[in-house]
């Protein structure tokens, strides 16, 4: 169109030609936009028919592309610091910059199509799994005395949602009460053991407000950690890949930790404006000493599996190439041991600390509620989402 406009300055003859070409180009453009608009409307309808929540990152992207498609570039001020959702939506929209409405529509259509295709693929995979599976975020099996709790959100790096917190606690309770279970192992599906808290949890602010959400989250975390403190039978972590946050801190409440040499351990609490949980403020210094615990819990240091073994946090490290082939036969052999002997022996080594651990858990959760409501936590989490975008 810019080229046509330059031609219009040359002569009356060219000016007449240009007017005809401009009208023709406008008609074609309108036809193109009309076709896009029809697909855009169809995509909106397809989005409304998605059965599964695509996640907050996906919803932010959808929101941003929709706004860019229908309005254009950002035309409002950025919301205040405590408006997590408003700021995240504004940042997602603003990140699209000068993308044209036509480009945004195309991107919106393509993205919705990809979400629909992904859900259809997941539904097909679900249909092939056992209909007796009672958990959505976990894959739990019991065979010959060995209960395996597999964190089963591989596409999200097994990040822990509120639902997974509840399911994990329930699975532990069932394993502890099942007379057929001797040993319980926790592992992850895919390449990650667990990426810690799904930070999109912070985006789902209820009508009651941020304060009530923080209080409820503190209670949820307290119950979750308590289910590890009170677990009577041997509990083994089978760390198949990187572990982050709460999935690392609760490992000190396990009875053994077996890891692939590709595993890493990371507790980036201060980087997110938060504080330790899972009784790690008490267990980490006891296991690895104050100096090493400080590096992990305060200074966000990430350590390898071999480093974790050296400081006594990991029981044994296996080559990644043979990890699965070596670990599971060992656990199957352990599941043949007399159950009462294991329970009584664990009680002798653990029960004297139970009251202390519960007290530490209460203190840590109270502190976290305060952290979640603080300005520096809000800033750190928003910075995290900005980096991800």
Q: For residue range 99-136, what is the model confidence (pLDDT) as tens digits?
A: 998 898 888 889 988 888 887 776 665 554 444 578 99
CB atoms within 10 A of CB 383: 13
Which residues have C-beta within 8 Å of that of residue 208, sequence separation ≥ 6? none
Please, what are the domains in the chain?
Answer: 35-123 (1.20.80.10), 133-388 (3.90.226.10)
DSSP label of 77? P
259, two tokens: 């890891």
Residue 360 DSSP SS3: helix
pLDDT, mean of residues 33-42: 72
- The pTM assigned to this predicted structure is 0.73
Q: For residue range 61-91, what is the model confidence (pLDDT) as tens digits?
A: 898 889 888 889 999 888 876 676 788 888 8
Q: What is the pLDDT of residue 21?
A: 37
Which residues have C-beta within 8 Å of that of residue 356, sequence separation ≥ 6? 282
Q: Which of 154, 342, 360, 329 is nearest to 250 (CA)?
A: 360
The answer on pLDDT for 7 being more than 60 is: no
Task: Please provide the distance, in angstroms rounded to a whole number, between the alpha carbons at the two ends of the chain.
Answer: 33
Is 164 within 8 Å of 200 (Cβ atoms)?
Answer: no
């Amino acid at each position: 169109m810019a080229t046509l406009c330059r031609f219009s300055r040359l002569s009356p003859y060219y000016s007449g030609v240009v007017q005809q070409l401009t009208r023709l180009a406008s008609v074609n453009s309108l036809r193109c936009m009309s076709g896009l608009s029809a697909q855009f409307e169809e995509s909106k309808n397809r989005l409304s028919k998605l059965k599964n929540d695509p996640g907050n990152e996906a919803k932010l992207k959808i929101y941003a592309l929709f706004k860019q498609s229908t309005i254009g570039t950002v035309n409002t001020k950025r919301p205040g610091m405590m408006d997590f959702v408003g700021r995240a939506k504004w940042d997602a929209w603003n990140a699209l910059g000068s993308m044209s409405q036509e480009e945004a529509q195309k991107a919106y259509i393509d993205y919705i199509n990809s979400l629909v295709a992904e859900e259809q693929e997941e539904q097909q995979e679900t249909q092939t799994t056992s209909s007796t599976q009672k958990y959505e975020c976990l894959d739990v099996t019991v065979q010959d005395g060995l209960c395996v709790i597999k964190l089963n959100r591989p596409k999200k790096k097994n990040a822990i949602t509120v639902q997974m917190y509840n399911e994990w606690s329930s699975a532990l309770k069932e394993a502890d009460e099942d007379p057929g279970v001797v040993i319980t192992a926790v592992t992850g599906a895919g390449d990650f053991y667990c990426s810690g808290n799904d930070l999109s949890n912070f985006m789902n602010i209820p009508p009651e407000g941020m304060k009530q959400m923080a209080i409820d989250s503190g209670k949820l975390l307290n119950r979750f950690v308590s289910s590890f403190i009170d677990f009577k039978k041997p509990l083994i972590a089978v760390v198949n890949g990187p572990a982050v946050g709460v999935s690392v801190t609760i490992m000190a409440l396990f009875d053994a930790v077996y890891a692939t040499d590709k595993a890493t351990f990371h507790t980036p609490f201060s980087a997110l404006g938060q504080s330790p949980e899972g009784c790690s403020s008490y267990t980490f210094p006891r296991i690895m000493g104050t100096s090493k615990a400080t590096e992990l819990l305060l200074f966000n240091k990430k350590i390898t599996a071999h480093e974790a073994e050296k400081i006594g946090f990991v029981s044994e490290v296996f080559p990644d190439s043979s990890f699965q082939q070596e670990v599971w036969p060992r656990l199957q052999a352990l599941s043949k041991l007399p159950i009462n002997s294991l329970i009584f022996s664990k009680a002798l080594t653990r029960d004297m600390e139970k009251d202390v651990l519960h007290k530490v858990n209460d203190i840590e959760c109270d502190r976290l509620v305060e952290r979640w409501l603080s300005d520096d936590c809000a800033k750190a989490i928003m910075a995290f989402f900005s980096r991800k975008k």
